[in-house]
């Protein structure tokens, strides 16, 4: 029989070491991704400020929107992007470009919506944005001559509905952890519940199998209702 290349047993120390290396690599990957988000945000912000100063509102809107999308916790850059979008909307209104102002407000809303996680960054801005967007959409309908009395309320309900509609993030997180735990318990069963000759280490095997079953049921239940 050919000898294995690596005969070190998978004891607690080796498992801890492997987990440590994985976490280190994940942290490195996350740090690079977060760094990239922060750098990209500043680059877009710089461009947006330039466009705004030169009066090119359409380009400023686009750059400010992208800056607002690059949200990283504890980094205030994306908030400056949102403020610039407000500024673009105000300048567009002042120069009679109502449609562009609506686009700027919608862009601010989208930038907030797409960074949602366990919490919604800059959530305090949403009620004002929703109210303004709904009012402008209703006004647009009035101009087209197809207005209905409840237009504004209906649009506002649609916009607010997305926040209410979202799944419960904490339950969903618990479900996801159940999934990861299930995979880990199955691996634990394979490593600690089995001897090389195929016989079971009964105590460990039952423990890991039971854990896997509980976590699997937890995962399926939570993803259904989360």
Partner 1 sequence: MPSERQSERYETLAWLVGPKGLMLLLFGCIAVVYGATLSTEVLGGDAGEFATLAGGPGVAHPPGYPLYTMLLRLLDFVPIASPAARASFLTAVIGMGAAVGLFRAAIAWGAEPLAAGVAVVIWAFAPLTWSLSTSPEVFALNAALCVGMVAVAGPFSPHRGTLRAGLLGLLAGLALSNHHSAVLMAPIGFYGLVVGIRESVAPLRALGVALGAALVGLLPYALLESQAANPEALWVWGDFTALQGLVHHILRVDFGTLQLGIRADKVDAWTQVGALTIALMEQTHWVGFIAFLGGTVWLLSTRNRFAQMPPRLAVVFLVVTLVCVGPLFVSLMNLAPVGVAARVVERFYLLPLTIGSVIVALGFEGWFRRLELRNDVQFSILGALITLCAAMSFQQVREHHRPDVSRYVENVLVSVPARAVIMGTEDHRLFGFLYHQAALGERADVQYLDPTMMHYAWYRNRMAELTGLTLPEPEGETVSTVAIADAVLSAGRPLFVTNIFSSGIPKNFATYPAGLLYRVLPRGASPPHPLEVERLNVELFERYWLPEYPAVAGSWAGLVAQDYVRPWEQLASAFAAISMGDRAEGCRHRADALRPTPAPTFRRRLTR
Q: 48 to 107, contacts with partner 1 by CB under 8 A?
A: 58, 62, 69-73, 100, 103, 106-107
User: What 3 state SS string does 136-165 have?
Assistant: HHHHHHHHHCCCCCCHHHHHHHHHHHHHHH
The CA distance from 86 to 123, in Å, is: 15
201 is a contact residue toward partner 1 (CB under 8 A): no
Place of tokens 């305090």: 124
Among 14, 46, 128, 166, binds partner 1 (CB under 8 A): 166
To partner 1, the closest distance from the beta carbon of 49 in angstroms equals 18
Among 47, 131, 172, 201, binds partner 1 (CB under 8 A): 172
Applying CB under 8 A, the span of 46-54, 81-89, 139-147 interacting with partner 1 comes to 139-147
125 is a contact residue toward partner 1 (CB under 8 A): no
The CA distance from 192 to 101, in Å, is: 62
176 is a contact residue toward partner 1 (CB under 8 A): yes
| Number of other CB atoms surrounding residue 19 within 10 Å | 10
To partner 1, the closest distance from the beta carbon of 22 in angstroms equals 9
Residue-by-residue DSSP string for 166-224: S--HHHHHHHHHHHHHHHHHHHHHHHHSB-TTS-B-HHHHHHHHHHHHHHHHHHHHHHH
37 is a contact residue toward partner 1 (CB under 8 A): yes
Among 16, 19, 23, 32, binds partner 1 (CB under 8 A): 32
Instruction: Using the minimum distance from each CB to partner 1, give the nearer residue, 83 or 218.
Output: 218
| C-alpha pair distances (Å), 60 with each of 12, 51, 77, 122 | 55, 5, 16, 21
To partner 1, the closest distance from the beta carbon of 73 in angstroms equals 6
Decide if 68 contacts 78 (C-beta within 8 A): yes
Instruction: Using the minimum distance from each CB to partner 1, give the nearer residue, 83 or 186.
Output: 186
152 is a contact residue toward partner 1 (CB under 8 A): no
Instruction: Using the minimum distance from each CB to partner 1, give the nearer residue, 49 or 172.
Output: 172
155 is a contact residue toward partner 1 (CB under 8 A): yes
Decide if 67 contacts 50 (C-beta within 8 A): no
2 is a contact residue toward partner 1 (CB under 8 A): yes
Among 42, 179, 201, 204, binds partner 1 (CB under 8 A): 179
What is the signed CA dihedral for 50, 56, 59, 60, rounded to 10 degrees?
50
């Amino acid at each position: 029989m050919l000898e294995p290349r690596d005969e070190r047993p998978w004891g607690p120390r080796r498992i801890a070491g492997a987990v440590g290396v994985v976490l280190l690599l994940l942290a490195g990957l996350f740090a690079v991704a977060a760094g990239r988000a922060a750098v990209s945000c500043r680059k877009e912000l710089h461009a947006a400020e330039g466009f705004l100063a030169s009066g090119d509102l359409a380009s400023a809107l686009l750059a400010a929107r992208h800056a607002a999308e690059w949200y990283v916790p504890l980094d205030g850059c994306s908030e400056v992007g949102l403020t610039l979008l407000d500024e673009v909307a105000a300048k567009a209104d002042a120069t009679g470009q109502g449609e562009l102002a609506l686009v700027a407000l919608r862009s601010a809303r989208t930038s907030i919506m797409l960074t949602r996680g366990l919490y919604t960054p800059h959530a305090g801005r949403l009620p004002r944005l929703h109210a303004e967007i709904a009012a402008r959409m209703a006004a647009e309908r009035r101009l087209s001559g197809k207005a209905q009395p409840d237009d504004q309320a209906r649009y506002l309900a649609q916009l607010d509905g997305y926040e209410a509609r979202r799944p419960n993030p904490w339950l969903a997180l618990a479900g996801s952890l159940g999934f990861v735990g299930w995979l880990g318990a199955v691996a634990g069963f394979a490593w600690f519940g089995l001897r090389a000759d195929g016989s079971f280490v009964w105590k460990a095997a039952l423990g890991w199998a039971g854990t896997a079953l509980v976590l699997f049921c937890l995962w399926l239940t939570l993803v259904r209702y989360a």
